[in-house]
Structure 1
């Protein structure tokens, strides 16, 4: 019985083994000879990257040049003493920050010595006038004497003529004729002497006139010196650099202070040659364009209007570019003062048929990615015209096409992407072509182009006043893709000021 049971179990195991062997063989045969239609479905699927896109739209834009400069007083008067002496009067307003109005007394120097000199000059003039009057009277008398001598000579000539006539008729004697001849000669000699006296008196009168004029000049000089003992404000202004003290001794041409007109403020700033060329008109002269001066007071930034005024004719040693001046329009004295560092926004001429795109959409050599057929990327070159903060103004682009707003390392021509239009861009898309771009919003960090970054790095490395640890700190910040805005503005202001 047991033997039969073991035989049945062995047959069952053998049958199961044979069934599994046949099943495996069938699967192998089907795999080797079956259809290949599912091979494509088992191949890996291409990955599609999601990218933000925008549409290239033609616009007319006004590029804005960003610059940094220093405020200066356009109307600045150094108060210098024209005479030497003791300061006997200084008003309360004559101090740093003191405000004065036109015509107000600024200072007075002791006039005693100059008053005496003025009075002496007056007496000298009076003396010269008296001498001149005397010379005129003497000349008049000498002329009368000369006239009398001339009449006497004429009589002697007539007497001689009668005696000569009588002598020819045999009536007069030779002795009478000789006497008449001698009298005539004596009269002529007397006339000559009187004429010489007249000439001498005329010369003395001219000398007296010259002496009077010299004394009058000396009197005017004394009066001018006396008037220079006090100084009055020629215009409304604010005093600075005051060094004068009541009772102090001052010398000639010593500076006592500086008077600044707070209503006449200008800003001096430097531009590169290319930037300066964009501000010229058709005649090659600087356009009198309206610009904006940004004044920082803590966290508040105030915009002050200004107008381009002129260009310096020469470069200072160690400076490059062009030094340009702009005059502030009706500045607020409580807000601006000479010496402040400011930022400037200078509009250029409008550019037509251009597009404004993010700087992250274009490589440094001017290539951008477009969305092509089947959402595959295409790369095209563009013309970079201007950098505007974090944006670029470009030309020669296929308007109407969509482009990738931010390039990434994994993106390139032929890559399949999934385009996404940001909701904010669709909601705020402009309905009309703007004439002037809105300024980029302020941010804690900004992206620098290679030129700006290299200029700041060179300035820091060349500085011999900065501590090594500070240099290392700033250079580390400048090595980042995004640099703190405060650091950039600080060093660009120092570069503009030549520090």
Structure 2
């Protein structure tokens, strides 16, 4: 039978089923019960843990021993100390020369060793210049000198003749004057006329003129002779210059040394005053180094002067060090402001080292500093805060304020603040303070056989050491840091325990 669409059973097929009464309340109740159970479990667990902790036996912390730090130390011993100043310097030639040929010409021969780096002895002929033009110049100078010598001889002969003629003219003048005097007497007597007297006066005048002429001629000849003699002197110098130039065609080494450079070749024309060869004396090498103002001030006030002080050089070549010695022989005249100090020069001693020094070498220089009397030399690691050191007194550190005079490599020179016989700690500690307990392993008593009696050369067994460590409760690092006395205390405790009385 067909049903109508209004039938509730047919119309409800596409809708959700209806909720039963009381379903939401049951769900909420179930969630509340679950939460309560969780809280109860947590509270019960917490209460159980608290009871377990309270019921556990109380453990007392083991007292940590006063651990000492092992350090190294040096005993203070005063004495005279002279530190060294380490510097760097440059080797330079104290004697060097640029050889320039005095004359020009063609090179006709050279020394077989005339090349850079070769050594040539003093007086050896470096090269020779063609002497032909100079020989011709010398011959001309000698010919001119001979001609002047002949002219001088001629002038001297003419001068002798003029002087002789002057003597004759003076004699004739004297005779004419005597004749005039007699004529004037006879004229007074009326024997001679005035005309005759005047003739004799004319003769006297003529003779005087002749004498004056001869005197002038002699002066002229003497002047000519002086002129020729001056020419002769000039020509003699010319001959000497020509002879010297001829001798300068052979250029020789002024001293024994090493050739730096050479521009000479056979057949080449060299000009006068052009640098042909440069060389230096390898037996006169200096090292130049610079002392700071502070270093120079210390050494300059020392009892031993800086001049004459021996220094040491080290030249590193091919990963090898070669040592040389030198003696200070000069101090710079001015302050080397660019280098910040005073330049000092030391002459390097001649040596037969397998490697010879060369100018320009960069070397390490060690210069003795001033002498400090009643000073203490200590490792630089002992110095704290630029003026503090720590001494060991009764196994603990005490600081000392010291006076640092100088540094010498890895050492420091102290002139005050320490007493002879004190132990100065030389180990660097990050946390250092007064009262810190330390020990010096190198100064400890030798090991013991059973922890009670020192026996030279004896050592506890491994089993005893292990048992003592277990008794102390320390780690291996803490055990190693213990002093000998502290270790012996643990060995004695181990020995006195009843359960270890039979252990060896």
The answer to whether the 8 Å contact 1:263/1:333 transfers is no
> SS of the counterpart of 1:213?
helix
Q: How does 1:371-390 map to 2 (within 5 A)?
A: 371-372=392-393, 374-390=394-410
2:333: which partner in 1?
Answer: 313
Aligned to 2:346: 326
Shift in Å, 1:334: 4.5
1:209 Cα deviation after fit: 0.9
Q: Aligned with 1:279: secondary structure?
A: helix
Equivalent pair of 2:315/2:321 in contact (CA under 8 Å): yes
Show the 5 A alignment for 1:477-492.
none
The range that moved more, 193-202 or 326-335, is 326-335
Secondary structure of the residue aligned to 2:165 is helix
- Report if aligned partners of 1:83, 1:229 keep a CA contact under 8 Å in 2: yes
Alignment of 1:105-254 (within 5 A): 105-254=125-274
Gaps of 5+ in 1: 1-23, 32-38, 424-499
TM-superposed deviation, 1:137: 1.2
Quote how far apart the aligned CAs of 1:240 are.
2.2
The equivalent residue for 1:258 is: 278
Q: Secondary structure at the match of 1:353?
A: strand
Q: Distance in 1 between matches of 2:300 and 2:241?
A: 50
Moved more, 345-354 or 201-210: 345-354
Matched, 1:73 2:93: yes
1:367 shift after superposition = 0.9
| Deviation, structure 1 residue 185 | 1.2
Task: State whether structure 2 residue 132 is matched by structure 1 residue 85.
Answer: no
- 1:414 alignment counterpart: 435
TM-align CA RMSD: 2.7
Question: Deviation string for 1:236-285 (max 9, x for gaps)?
Answer: 22222122221112222222222222222221111112222333367996
Q: Structure 2 unaligned runs (5+)? A: 1-53, 445-504
8 A contact 2:259–2:278 mirrored in 1: yes
Given that residues 336 and 342 in structure 2 are in contact (C-alpha distance below 8 angstroms), is that contact kept between their aligned partners in structure 1?
Answer: no
The answer for the alignment partner of 1:485 in structure 2 is none
Q: Is the 8 A contact 1:279 1:287 kept in 2?
A: no
Deviations 1:75-101 (A, max 9, x none): 222222222222111121111232322
- Structure 1, residues 91-150: CA drift from partner, whole Å, max 9, x if none? 211112323222221101122222222211111111111111111111111111111111
Residues 279-294 of structure 1 correspond to what in structure 2 (within 5 A)? 279-280=299-300, 286-294=306-314
Q: Work out whether 1:361 is the aligned partner of 2:361.
A: no
1:184-205 deviation digits (Å, cap 9, x = unpaired): 1111111111111111111111
CA contact (8 A) 1:355 1:394 kept: yes
- Aligned partner (choices 417, 425, 430) of residue 404 of structure 1: 425
Instruction: Report what 2:370 is aligned to.
Output: 349
SS in 1 for 2:262: coil
**Corresponding residue SS for 1:318:** coil
Matching residue within 269, 294, 298 for 2:289: 269
Structure 1 pair 128–285 and aligned structure 2 pair: CA distance change class (3 A)? farther
Q: How many residues align?
A: 389
When residues 282 and 415 of structure 1 are mapped into structure 2, their CA distance, relative to the original with a 3 A threshold, is closer
Task: For residue 43 of structure 1, report the CA deviation from its aligned partner.
Answer: 5.3
Residue 129 of structure 1 aligns to a residue whose secondary structure is: helix
CA offset digits 1:17-55 (Å, max 9, x no partner): xxxxxxx99x99xx9xxxxxxx9x965444321111111
**Contact 1:107/1:230 (<8 A) preserved:** yes
Structure 1's 243 and 279: CA in aligned 2 closer, same or farther, altered over 3 A?
farther
Maintained 8 Å contact 1:53/1:420: no
Q: Match for residue 81 of structure 2?
A: 61
Following the alignment from structure 2 to structure 1, what is the Cα–Cα distance between the partners of residues 275 and 443?
65
String of CA shifts for 1:169-196, please: whole Å, max 9, x gaps. Answer: 3333222221111111111111111111
What is the TM-score when the length of structure 2 is the normalising length?
A: 0.72
Larger Rg: 2
User: Take 2:303 and 2:72, find their aligned partners in 1: how far apart are those partners?
Assistant: 45
Q: Which structure 1 residue ranges, 4+ long, deviate > 6 Å from structure 2? A: 281-285
